[in-house]
Amino acid sequence: MTSTPNDFGAAEEAHRLALAESQLAALFEVSSVLSRSLNLRQTLREVLSVLHERGRMSHGLVCLLNEERGELLISALHGKDAEPFETVTYQPGEGVIGQILSANEPWILPRVADEPRFLDRLNLYDPELPFIGVPIRVGEEHAIGVFAAQPPPGDALLGYRSRFLEMVANLIGQAVRLARTVEAEQQALREERDKLRREVKGTHGFDSIIGRAQPMRLVFEQVRQVAKWNTTVLIRGESGTGKELIANAIHYNSPRARAPFVKLNCAALPDNLLESELFGHEKGAFTGAVSQRKGRFEQADGGTLFLDEIGEITPAFQAKLLRVLQEGEFERIGGGRTLKVDVRVIAATNRDLEAGVRAGEFREDLYYRLNVMPIRTPALRERMEDIPDLARFLVGKVSRMQGRDLEITDSAVRMLMRYDWPGNVRELENCIERAAVMSEDGNIDREVIDLTGFSPNSSGPDFVQSSAPPASQVDFNDPNLDERERVIAALEEAGWVQAKAARLLNMTPRQIAYRIQTLNIKMRQF
């Protein structure tokens, strides 16, 4: 019995339908694989495996263009005989793979051995089998890669298989675009994170703490040493001496710098709220506890917890805090599960804890638990030589706040050095900011500071005369010192006696009186 053309047509149609069904199933599985993960290399290998098992397309290959190097790099390969391919590359236009990229068109080879331009650098492909390669595109743009595979032998439907590979290549193109977009965003986030870390470390590092006086050099050395370890630190000092800056410097120069730095002012909360803030609470633990909340100890796990004004907590709460410091364990309010954390504690206080221990107001065991490494921040009156640097630093800070250029004169700085600053750096900063507000042209001199009500010789309760040694003598021959500053410096050194100031400047009393008038210098009255 002979076959008729209709029989051949029916067989071909049946073959085509079976191929379409298998390709549809493979296409569905490929789309599922591509939506599973953003790990592009692993995803592409799984896609090639699906095509091999479900689509009867062997030796699958995905090459993607490296725009920096301008060449095709193999990103995924399937085949049991495939050798390591990390070093195998193709230039655009080189061989069949390179031609597909350059022409941005599919290429069907009925038999690999018949094409002399085919470069089997991988020693992978069967020369007797067909080969189909299609470009990988992103939208309507130029090709960004090549997707290729070998159909089974004797396949008469290479055109259908080529269109199927183009559909898969389009899906691969979208996956590549998504993966590259995500990678670019992640890289941008990593760079932003690293930049912020550098800025935070710079802001809270040693450079942010102004001080060249001997007491501050001792503090810096203590901070450098203690930052290396997990030792509990107790920072002592008057209000306004920068205890929080020291805590920042310890954390951001320690191995925990990448972990959280959590702060809490213990004086700001009553016992019940303080316990909730530090230890957290379970849902329904008390009225208003509508959800579970982590406390500061949990938030700081792996990092540092800064407890400011530790001397203000009550004896009842001191016992609860002692357990956490000793064991690293606590329970949330309303919870029965014991939680364990790894937290470094830095505490600060301006109170005399030793007197509190003697009076029974502060637990002795908690005192010794906190006072492992004490660091004392000196008062500003103990480091008067730092005032010029501090004043100029604070002027720069206020300048950025006000969005304009500000300068402070040497005579204004010398005026600031004649005051004891009981409010320490915080009071100095307030004075500088008031002076900046009163300055119309951005120049902070003696007259502007006078306008703020500041007077180092005032006998009122707000000001006390400095007991610090007078500022070092000014070099009146300094070429960088302008005429007005030179006259003011001489007057200050002479106690505002014009005749003495004239002798310092090698002038006559009449000459210095003329300078005072023409330079609009306001004489101080005693």
Question: Which residue, of 328, 363, 378, is where some domain finishes?
Answer: 378
Q: Evaluate whether residue 190 is within a structural domain.
A: no
Q: Are residues 467 and 498 in the same domain?
A: no
For the chain, the farthest-separated pair of C-alpha atoms sits apart, in whole angstroms, at 139
pLDDT of residue 480: 67
259 and 369 fall within a common domain: yes
| Torsion angle, alpha carbons of 503, 507, 510, 513, to 10 | -80
Q: Looking at the structure, do residues 320 and 280 belong to the same domain, yes or no?
A: yes
Domain tally, the chain = 4
User: What gap in Å lies between CA 92 and CA 230, rounded to an integer?
Assistant: 57
One domain, residues 368 and 220: yes
Owning domain of residue 89 = 14-182
On whether residue 197 sits in a domain, the answer given is no
Domain stop point among 378, 411, 438: 378
Which CATH number goes with the domain that contains 423?
A: 1.10.8.60
Residues 6+ apart with CB under 8 A from 501: 487, 490, 491, 493, 494, 512
Q: What is the CATH number of the domain that holds 151?
A: 3.30.450.40
Task: Tell me the backbone φ, ψ of residue 523, rounded to 5 degrees.
Answer: -75, 140
Residues 515 and 487 occupy one common structural domain: yes
Q: Which helix (H) or strand (E) holds 97?
A: helix 95-103
For residue 129, tell me if it sits in a domain: yes
pLDDT by residue, tens only, the chain of 526 residues: 455 555 545 666 665 676 677 777 777 777 777 777 777 888 888 888 888 877 678 888 888 888 778 888 888 887 654 455 667 788 888 888 888 888 888 988 888 888 888 888 878 888 888 998 999 888 777 788 898 888 887 676 788 888 888 888 888 888 888 888 888 888 888 888 777 766 666 666 666 688 888 999 899 999 999 999 999 999 999 998 989 999 999 998 899 988 999 999 988 888 878 888 899 888 877 777 778 888 899 999 999 999 999 999 988 889 889 988 988 888 888 887 889 999 999 999 999 999 999 999 999 999 999 999 999 999 999 999 999 999 999 999 999 999 999 999 888 888 898 888 998 999 999 999 999 999 888 899 888 888 887 766 543 334 444 444 444 456 666 666 777 777 877 887 777 777 778 888 888 878 878 788 787 777 765 4
Q: Report the pLDDT value the prediction gives residue 18, as an integer from 0 to 100.
A: 67
Give residue 203's pLDDT: 64
Task: Tell me, yes or no, whether 203 lies in a domain.
Answer: no
CATH of the domain at 490: 1.10.10.60
Q: Are 222 and 367 found together in one domain?
A: yes
Residues 255 and 363 in one domain: yes
The neighbouring-strand residues paired with 263 are 306
Query: How many of the other CB atoms lie within 10 Å of CB of 99?
Result: 17
In a domain, residue 192? The reply is no
The string over 463-498, giving b where at least 16 C-beta atoms fall within 10 Å of a residue's C-beta and e elsewhere, is: bbebebeebeebeeeeeebeebbbbbbbbbbbeeeb
